[in-house]
Structure 1
C-alpha cells in the first residue's frame, strides 16, 4: 500500500520553522569568527609592534575579530597576497603601493585601498662614508654624491631617483639587496637605509657616527609618507565595519605601544625570539623609538595620526613622478584614513 507523500508536509513545515532560524542564528557568529590574516611587509620586528600589542592585549578580540599575524620577508610580496585573496590586510609602504597602482593593471575589486596611514614622517635616508669609500674624497652634502657609487633598494629606487633629480645629482647607481656588506666593504660611497633600521645596524656593527654622513629625506624637505594598512577594495566594500574595527584596534595597539614602550618591546622580542631572528633588544628598542616618532607628531610638527591628507597624497604622487596616473584620493583612501577613527 502506498502512503500519500503529502501527509508529512505540515510536520516538515513545522520542523523548518523551528530549525531555519536556529541555523541562521548560529551562521552569523561562525562567519564573524573566521580569522583575518594580516601580512607584514617584513619579518617580525619593532616596526610592527602595535599589531602585536593589539593582539596580545585583546584589542582585536574586543572588536569581535580573530587576527592571524603573518610575517613577511624577501620572498613574500604582501600586497600581492592581499590582491589574490590569500590575506585580508597587509602592511606596506606608500611609495611601492602607488607605483603598483600606476603600473599594474588590476581589476577594481582587487585593487588596494588605504585603511590606516601610520608613518607620516619619512624615515628614508642615505648613509655615506664621510671621507668617501676611498677614504679621501669627502662627502658632506648631497651634491658630493654626484658621480659617486650609490647602492639603492630596487623597490624604492623611484623615490631615490626623484630625490636625486630634485637635487640635480646623478650618482652611479648599483642594486642594493638585503645586506649592508657592499657598503661596509666600501664598495660604494653611500647606501639606502631606514633611519629606524639599517642606520642603527651600521652603528651596531662597529661603524662610528663620526665616520658617516646621514642624509635624512624628511629633514631635507622630501615629505613621503610610508607604512600604512591596506586591504582589497572589494573586501572593504563588502565588510566596511569589520575593516574599520580592524583599523581601530590596530591604531589602539600603536597608542598603547607609545604609552608602554617596554611592554611593546617585550612583545616584539617574544616574536623575534620565537622566529629565531638575528636581532637584539637594543636594536629593537631603537627601532621602536624611531617608528613611534614617525607615527605620532612631536609638538613642533604637525601631521594627523592614522590619516593621509589629500595634499600629502598628491605630493607623494608628484615626488614619485606618478601625477596623472593614480586613482583619485577618494577612490584610494577610505573614510577611516581620510577622517580618522572614532
Structure 2
C-alpha cells in the first residue's frame, strides 16, 4: 500500500511540474474573434498546444488599432498574424520572420452594387472609391494600376467612408473582407458583386503567421513547437468544420451567429488549403511576385528575403510531444517502485 501511495505521489508531482514548465506564449490576432482564426482555437481546445508544452494566450485585436507589428516588435506578443505587406516591413528594417501563409489568396475585394457599371478593373476610372492602405491592401490598388489607372487618380478618387456611404450612393466601390460585408449585404437583400485581385492574376498571401527574429533566436524550439501545433489545429479545423464552428461560437465569437460562422468557414476553406497546396505553404517565387506589388527591385528583394521565410528546425516524421516524453519518464521512474511493490506482496 505504501508503494502505491508513493507511486501516485510521484505521478502527481511530475504532472504538476510538467504543467508549471509549459512555455507561456501569446498570439496576437489581426482582428476580432471569428472563424478566420479557427485553427488556433482548435489547437488550444483540442490540447495540441498543451501537448507541445505550450500555454498559449490568443488575443483579439483592437478594431481601432489592428496593426500587429508594434506588438511583436516591442515584445508584447510572441506571435501574430498580418498581411502580405510584411515583406515591405522587412525591407524597411523590421526584424520579422514569416512562419506560414494560412490564406493562400488575398481575402480583400472591391464590392460594387449589382446595377453598377463596374465589372473589371478598368471600369474603376472616374469612380468614387473608399480609402485603402497602401501596405495592407496594396493588391487592391495594384489591380487597378495594372488596368491603366494611375496611383494619383486613384488617390484623388478615394474618399472616407465604408459600407454605410456605399449604400447611400456616396461611394461606387468599397473595400471589403470577402466573408464579412458581403454576407451582411446578402442578409439585407442588397444585390452586390465582388471584384477580387485573385480573379485578375494577383495571387498574394493573406493571414501570414509570423514572429520576430529576436524571439526566434532566443527560443527556436518554442517557435517550432508552436508552428507544428498550429498547423495541426488548422488541419483539425478543416476536417471538423461543424465542431470548429461550434467551438468558435461558444468560446470565442459569441457575438456572431452560427450561420455567419458557417458562411465564413465555407468561403475561407478554399483560401486556406486549395487543391494541391500544403497548409501554410510559402514559396520564394510567390514572394517575388508580391515584392513586385510593392515596387521592390531584385536587390531589395534579395536583401529583404534573406532570413525572412522560416526554415523549419526539424524534418517531417514522428514527433515526440512533451506528454509522450513525460509518459516515458514516468514509466522509467515507476519501474523500481513496481518491483519493490511486487516483492513486498510476495513476502
TM-score computed with the length of structure 1 as normaliser: 0.79
Q: Which residue of 2 aligns with 1:40?
A: 29
CA RMSD of aligned residues (A): 2.7
The match for 1:144 is 123
Q: 1:124, 1:339 → 2: CA distance?
A: 34
Whether the aligned pair in 1 keeps the contact of 2:27 and 2:77 (CA below 8 Å) is yes
> Are 1:162 and 1:321, in contact at CA under 8 Å, matched by a contact in 2?
no
Residue 319 of structure 1 is matched in structure 2 by: 293
State the secondary structure of the residue aligned to 1:49: helix
SS at match of 1:118: strand
Please tell me whether the aligned partners of residues 36 and 66 of structure 1 are also in contact (alpha carbons under 8 angstroms).
yes
Match of 1:153 in 2: 132
Counterpart-to-counterpart distance in 2, 1:62 and 1:221 = 40
Q: How many residue pairs get matched?
A: 296
Correspondences of 1:202-221 after superposition (within 5 Å): 202-208=185-191, 212-221=192-201
Q: 1:314: how far off?
A: 0.7
Q: Is the 8 A contact 2:119 2:195 kept in 1?
A: no
TM-score norm. by structure 2 comes to 0.77
Q: Distance between the aligned counterparts of 2:251 and 2:159, measured in 1? A: 30
DSSP-derived class of the 1:51 partner: helix
Q: Give CA deviations for 1:201-245 in whole Å, capped at 9, x if unaligned.
A: 22223212xxx2321211211111111211111111121111011
1:123 pairs with one of 93, 96, 107:
107
C-alpha displacement at 1:157, in angstroms?
4.7
Cα distance between partner residues in 2 of 1:48 and 1:295: 11
**Compared CA separation, residues 164 and 201, structure 1 to 2 (3 A):** same
2-side partners of 1:176 and 1:58: how far apart? 44
Aligned-partner Cα distance in 2 for 1:60–1:143: 47
* 2:271 equivalent in structure 1: 294
CA separation in 1, counterparts of 2:315 and 2:289? 18
In the alignment, the residues of structure 2 paired with residue 203 and residue 239 of structure 1 have an alpha-carbon distance, to the nearest angstrom, of 46
Distance in 2 of aligned mates of 1:174 and 1:337: 45
Asked if the contact 1:125–1:195 (Cα under 8 Å) also holds between the matched residues in 2, the reply is: yes
- What runs of 5+ residues in structure 2 fail to find an aligned partner? 1-13, 320-347
2:343 corresponds to: none
What is the Cα deviation at residue 338 of structure 1? 12
1:44–1:271 contact (8 Å) kept in structure 2: no
Aligned to 1:226: 206
Match in the other structure for 1:89: 79
| 1:58-109 deviation digits (Å, cap 9, x = unpaired) | 00000011001010122243221011001100011122x2232234x44xxx
| Residue 174 (str. 1) matches residue 158 (str. 2) | yes
> Which residue of 46, 63, 79 maps to 2:69?
79
Q: For residues 261 and 340 of structure 1, do their structure 2 counterparts lie closer, same or farther at Cα, with a shift above 3 Å needed?
A: same
Q: Structure 1, residues 121-160: CA drift from partner, whole Å, max 9, x if none?
A: 222211112333xxxxx22322221111111332535332
1:339–1:174 distance in 2 versus 1, CA, 3 Å: farther
Q: 1:173 to 1:206 in 2, by over 3 A?
A: same
Q: Distance in 2 between matches of 1:82 and 1:284?
A: 28
Aligned residue number for residue 334 of structure 1: 310
Q: CA separation in 2, counterparts of 1:308 and 1:273?
A: 29
Distance 1:102 1:185 in 2: 40
Runs of 5+ unmatched residues, structure 1: 1-24, 133-137
Are the equivalent residues in 1 in contact too, given 2:139–2:197 (CA < 8 A)?
A: no
1:213, 1:260 → 2: CA distance? 30
The one-character-per-residue Cα deviations of 1:166-200 (angstroms, maximum 9, x if unpaired) are 111354532556x4211121211111122222222
